[in-house]
Structure 1
């Protein structure tokens, strides 16, 4: 069976995006190949797409003929507020549009999709959640780090490093005390502070760590180091958002995989 036939059969079984409805969808970590079939279907049905800065242009291009609203937010830069984004979704839905709200990663994992879902429900607007592959897992796998590995960890902690101020941050020392690997979304501006708190919480400075920028895209950059060095290295090497930082023994797996792959090529 051809790819075209398969996709056609699957398309006939997928839900229809109706006028006045909003679908909250995840675009995955970046590469269009990480899209789910439901999200691809939504892109072809929507007549308006409200999308974030982390959504790859190749993904947005799938929505041929749709009206596009860019609502990307970046730390430290003037941008549209969350309240304005939510109001725009409500306005478009009440105007009878078929609305796709498209976010990088998964809308319910540090994507504020839950806030938007509550707001839509309060207004009586039908919505649907379309999951995306969250960057915190896909980015690691893509660079050769399994987020969970038997014998190394029994849990993995997903944490955001992007807080309004340091008074609203996580208790990094408590997370360090768990001994489980930590995947930090964003947080580049305060990475030195975060790593300092993790070490103050008991993690040794030589704990393996890695940072990945623009995961799964042509702009991807990766650097592996230690907990004590990763923040300084990221600044020295010019890493820019979006980034993910992984801390823990699972990071050491990458070096072994790369060495084995290199040996296989010789």
Structure 2
């Protein structure tokens, strides 16, 4: 009889931002397949388990998705409780559907444990609500990145139309993103907020305008970053230097 696979959201970084359910399952797991963005401290919750790094890293050696799918199925056929630990929330830009499809095809039982996505942690750390009465009544999560062999999608129109938009995996493409949004009709004066390492004590933020966004492509950021767009960030433009944010250690 096959075991059960739990897709667990690790949250945006800090080990104590995982849900209580997620932590309890890690403590019971036989094997844990974890992403590159999972912090080492979080793996301390599952010292009893076999831990397998299946992270994907931009421009670095990465585990291909089809091998991750196979490893999940193989692990479930050997162990009672298998955890697939994903950064942020597993159902947002985490290729969860491909893994769920593989488990369905193999007849493996699974359960999804949601996590805190980076946009929510960045919003909390910056002290700026994603929504605001009379300013922002809708929020869009999007990505401009296109994987190898994938067809591009029209992400520009919904981002331009949104009151608040959060672009995942877009800072390294800052120049292209800025050009696309300007061509799509977004004003050059639109306020933005770039947040690096959301949810961690060393998180940083940079307020700027769409006109200034291309300079971010040359920044050597050490951690993952997201791009937050909308009038709710107008007040942040008064700041003239990066701000360290996040909870105290």
Q: What TM-score comes out, normalization by structure 2 length?
A: 0.89
Of Structure 1 and Structure 2, the greater helix share is in: 1
Deviation for aligned residue 1:196: 1.1
Residue matched to 2:225? 243
In the aligned structure 1, how far is the partner of 2:159 from the partner of 2:70? 39
Residue matched to 2:78? 95
8 Å contact from structure 1 (residues 176, 202) kept in 2: no
8 Å contact from structure 2 (residues 175, 217) kept in 1: no
- Alpha-carbon displacement from aligned partner over 1:142-188 (angstroms, at most 9, x marks no partner): 22221111111111110013212697333243124414221001123
8 Å contact from structure 2 (residues 172, 217) kept in 1: no
- Alpha-carbon displacement from aligned partner over 1:23-49 (angstroms, at most 9, x marks no partner): 000011111221111101111110111
8 Å contact from structure 2 (residues 31, 50) kept in 1: yes
8 Å contact from structure 1 (residues 145, 253) kept in 2: no
8 Å contact from structure 1 (residues 106, 131) kept in 2: yes
- Alpha-carbon displacement from aligned partner over 1:207-236 (angstroms, at most 9, x marks no partner): 00011111121332211110111231x244
User: Which has the higher Rg, Structure 1 or Structure 2?
Assistant: 1
Question: Could you list the runs of 5+ residues in structure 2 that have no partner in the other structure?
Answer: 240-249
1:202 and 2:185 matched: yes
Deviation for aligned residue 1:255: 6.0
Distance 1:149 1:253, change over 3 A: farther
Deviation for aligned residue 1:190: 1.7
Moved more, 38-47 or 95-104: 95-104
8 Å contact from structure 1 (residues 175, 198) kept in 2: no
**Alignment partner for residue 220 of structure 1, among 198, 203, 207?**
203
8 Å contact from structure 2 (residues 140, 159) kept in 1: no
RMSD: 2.2
8 Å contact from structure 1 (residues 27, 106) kept in 2: yes
In the aligned structure 1, how far is the partner of 2:22 from the partner of 2:159? 36
1:101-180 equivalences under 5 Å are: 101-164=84-147, 168-180=151-163
Of Structure 1 and Structure 2, the greater strand share is in: 2
- Where 1:228 maps in the other structure, the secondary structure is helix
Residue matched to 1:231? 214
Residue matched to 1:84? 67
Question: Could you list the runs of 5+ residues in structure 1 that have no partner in the other structure?
Answer: 1-17, 258-266
Moved more, 172-181 or 95-104: 172-181
Q: What TM-score comes out, normalization by structure 1 length?
A: 0.83
